[in-house]
Amino acid sequence: MKTICLLGSTGSIGTQTLDVVAKHPDELRCAALAVHRSVEVALDQAQRFGVRHVAVADERLAGTAAAEELRAWCEAGGGALSFGAAAVEQLCLLSEVDVVVNALVGAAGLRASYLTLEAGRVLALANKESLVVGGDLIMPLAASLNRCRGDNGALMPIDSEHGAIYQCLLGEDMAEVTKLWVTASGGPFRGRTRDQLRSITPAQALAHPTWNMGAKISIDSSTLMNKGLEVIEAHHLFAMPYDKIEVVVQPQSAIHSMVEFSDGSVKAHLGTTDMRIPIQFALSYPKRWEAPVAPLDFRTLGTLEFSAPDTKTFRCLALARQAGQVGGTLPCVMNAANEVAVEAFLSERLPYLGIAECVESVMEALGSQLVESLEQLSAIDHEARALAWQFVEQR
């Protein structure tokens, strides 16, 4: 049995991870949960799954009636309720934990990923920013842990695209890989022009045609920033140069990604559009357990469409690729500016097309440095956010 610590338990990935735990009680046990603010939901999850270690990132909620009820539950079982960002990170170090599922949103997840691997725990990663911002620090830790484990399972990607590529590469010689194809649904605005995007509202951008995701990731998907982040992730995860990573729009989302080889062969990973499948694989590896959802029926699938992404209209993809190719701290700058821009758009302080404009402005202002430490990345993240908010306020 594997014991997991689930960071971000009330979000889309978190709740679906608990679905997988519920389906496989003989294989998985959840020992710790972390949430940002949803104390009542955390209490329900803790009671349903017998979890006695809980952390709440928002310290302002300490002392509330719901928090006291959750505290009583945790302490009755010999555990504890704690508050603050450091408390969330400390859950990764619990001695009973085998696997940390990092489903935190944003750059806040980087330090948790680093501590998880540093402590020798397996990292099941759904936090894109861990690799986008800190891939130069995270991947050497994962490589070191893989050598100690004697396998390649220290860092298991939960993203459907990277989980698909991971599975397509099993048993293959990386020297024979000529291209990684990262698939994209195209988001809710596929085919629209820049003029048509000028008046887009948050409600329209949140309406993803295929996946059920949180607000920030949904906006990133609509701007294609999500694909840009995934290109950078793929570069780090699979040690693949950027000129061998391509994005292809596949609106049906039946093909989750593909790998092309030197002899012209292509492996494609297909399946039901349900995140519980890649979540379960990340937790079951190297085994495969009974499917958590109904399998894809190819007789009813219909057609599969493919097209190139429109990077002139959806400029965030091009900006993310540029940040990745330059490397160093520029992806950190890009990511921080994007997080601010998305927040500003959702609060109607920035127009939709202003997201890319904000990101580009901050990237040009700060440039890139060599990555040295988590502390350095934190300082640059802070500086980039400050500049991004200046951009928003001056609009």
What pLDDT, in 10s, does the model give residues 77-109?
Answer: 999 999 999 999 999 999 999 999 999 987 779
Residue set of the binding site for NADPH: 10-13, 37, 127, 129, 214
Give percent of the chain above pLDDT 90.
90
Find the length of the chain. Answer: 395
pLDDT digits (tens, 9 = 90+) for 111-125: 999 999 999 999 999
Interatomic CA distance for residues 34 and 5, integer angstroms: 8
Percent of the chain's residues with pLDDT above 70 = 99
Residue 210's pLDDT is what? 66
Concatenating the DSSP letter of every residue in 335-393 gives HHHHHHHHHHHHTTSS-TTHHHHHHHHHHHHH-------HHHHHHHHHHHHHHHHHHHH
**Rounded distance between C-alpha atoms, residue 170 and residue 281, angstroms:** 13
**Mean pLDDT of all residues in the chain?**
95
Residue type, position 268, single letter: A
Q: Is the pLDDT of residue 137 over 80?
A: yes
Binding-site positions for Mn(2+) read 159, 161, 230
Contact status, residue 103 vs residue 11, Cβ threshold 8 Å: yes
- Amino acid sitting at position 392: V
Structure tokens belonging to residue 255: 């093909």
Longest distance between any two alpha carbons in the chain, whole Å = 63
Q: What is this structure's pTM?
A: 0.94
pLDDT tens readout for residues 305-352? 999 999 999 999 999 999 999 999 999 999 999 999 999 999 999 999
Residue positions forming the annotated binding site:
10-13, 37, 127-129, 159-161, 185, 208, 214, 221, 226-227, 230
Which domains does the chain carry? 2-157 (3.40.50.720)
- What is the pLDDT, as a whole number, of residue 212? 65
pLDDT of residue 341: 98
User: Is the predicted pLDDT of residue 230 greater than 90, yes or no?
Assistant: yes
Residue range 237-249: mean pLDDT, rounded: 97
Per-residue confidence (pLDDT) for residue 207, from 0 to 100: 84
- Looking at the DSSP assignment, which residues form a beta bridge with residue 101? 6, 124
Report, as an integer, the average pLDDT of 140-169: 94
Binding site residues for 1-deoxy-D-xylulose 5-phosphate, as ranges? 128, 160-161, 185, 208, 221, 226-227, 230
> Can you name the residues that pair with 249 across neighbouring β-strands?
184, 307
Nearest to 250 by CA among 290, 305, 324: 305
